Structure 1
Amino acid sequence: MSGAGRRLALGHGLAALALLAGCAQLAPAVIPASEQRSGRLALSVEDQPGQSFSAAFELRGRPQAGELTLTNPLGGTIAVLDWQPGRAILRRPGAAPQGYASIEAMLEQATGAALPLAALFDWLDGMATPVPGWQPDLSQLGEGRLRARRLQPAPQADLRIVLDH
């Protein structure tokens, strides 16, 4: 085979490899039932009525890897937030998936406020993990209710979660 033929064959091989790599997807993680929660959440941001947000949700996984699906009252998907080490992807109906540098940045884009994801998992597990500026209220967690308020930085935010039983 001539030098030009080898380069052409190598180019076709690399193109095929790139195409296959582009089509490959990460296998979804198997998430135990104990790491799945669902319910309703409401987030309001003081002085920003347009930043109020409420949705039904399904939360699966842990802070390191998981998925949060947000749906409207009619059951339509608002957004699916998916994260694993090194990637965070926001999917919305009718829009191209958006990648983010962190789950926190993606949560802020999806909900309108920065939420402490790792602490949220702890709060749902009944641990009042401290987060600067946030005050979690776990006193009604036994009834499936959680409230957390962000006092700093401004604007203040109020997160309320009601879990399905």
Structure 2
Amino acid sequence: MRIWLPLGDARVLHGAGTLLLALFLTLLAGCTQPLRAPASPTAPAHWDGRMALSVDGDAKQSFAAVFALQGSSKQGSLTLSTPLGTVLAELQWMPGHAVLRSPRGERTASSLDALLEEALGSAIPVQALFAWLQGELAAAAGWQADLSRLSDGQLTAVRSNPLPRATLRIALER
């Protein structure tokens, strides 16, 4: 079906028609993403997505959050948020110092590894995690990473030793 409007009657498009057009343009704009420049070797790495960590055992624990991660295992930042955008925690680290800021206060530690274990209740192989996110199959004692779906933005790593078993799932935004 075609609707023909004489050029002089273009002002007829008002009310519901204008609202529908504005809605369509808003949805279209929401689907676009700015082009990202190719990463240079000197540019800091950056990942966004969702993560979930579950720890089996007598007192089963789980943690899930939206995340923004930047940097490397030596220096960087991590922001954990709820799906609605409420910041749960912010971590920053550099050699010899790591800090965690959350609504419950601020904690510091000598390394990111120690701080994450304290905050999450389970050790996470930080150095290997950064390698995994870059598509490199790095060894981490007790952990087995599945990078087979990394091209789809999916990464899973399972710790079987030491017990209790822990599973880390990451879904990267595209």
Partner of 2:35: none
Question: Structure 1's 45 and 143: CA in aligned 2 closer, same or farther, altered over 3 A?
Answer: same
- Match of 1:149, SS? strand
Partner of 2:49: 39
**Which structure has the larger Rg?**
2
* 4+ residue runs over 4 A deviation: none
Alpha-carbon distance in 1 for matches of 2:101, 2:60: 21
Whether 1:99 and 2:138 are equivalent positions in the alignment is: no
Whether 1:62 and 2:76 are equivalent positions in the alignment is: no
- What percent of counterpart residues are identical? 46
Kindly report which structure 2 residues correspond to 1:19-34, keeping only aligned pairs within 5 A, or say none: 32=43
Partner of 1:121: 130
Question: Structure 1's 48 and 138: CA in aligned 2 closer, same or farther, altered over 3 A?
Answer: farther
Alpha-carbon distance in 2 for matches of 1:86, 1:101: 5
- Match of 2:66, SS? strand
> Is the 1:44–1:157 Cα contact (8 Å) retained in structure 2?
yes
Q: Quick check: 57-66 or 39-48, which moved more?
A: 39-48
> Is the 1:78–1:93 Cα contact (8 Å) retained in structure 2?
yes
Which of the residues 140, 147, 151 maps onto 1:138? 147
Alpha-carbon distance in 2 for matches of 1:69, 1:153: 27
Q: CA RMSD in A?
A: 1.5
Deviation track 1:42-68 (CA, whole Å, cap 9, x = no partner) reads 000012555200000000001110001
Alpha-carbon distance in 2 for matches of 1:40, 1:110: 17
Quick one: which amino acid aligns to residue 146 of structure 2? D
More helix by proportion, 1 or 2?
A: 1
Question: Structure 1's 71 and 49: CA in aligned 2 closer, same or farther, altered over 3 A?
Answer: farther
Alpha-carbon distance in 2 for matches of 1:157, 1:124: 18
Alpha-carbon distance in 1 for matches of 2:109, 2:89: 14
Whether 1:78 and 2:69 are equivalent positions in the alignment is: no
> Is the 2:95–2:111 Cα contact (8 Å) retained in structure 1?
no
Question: Structure 1's 49 and 70: CA in aligned 2 closer, same or farther, altered over 3 A?
Answer: farther
**Structure 1, unaligned runs of 5 or more:** 1-30
Quick one: which amino acid aligns to residue 149 of structure 2? Q
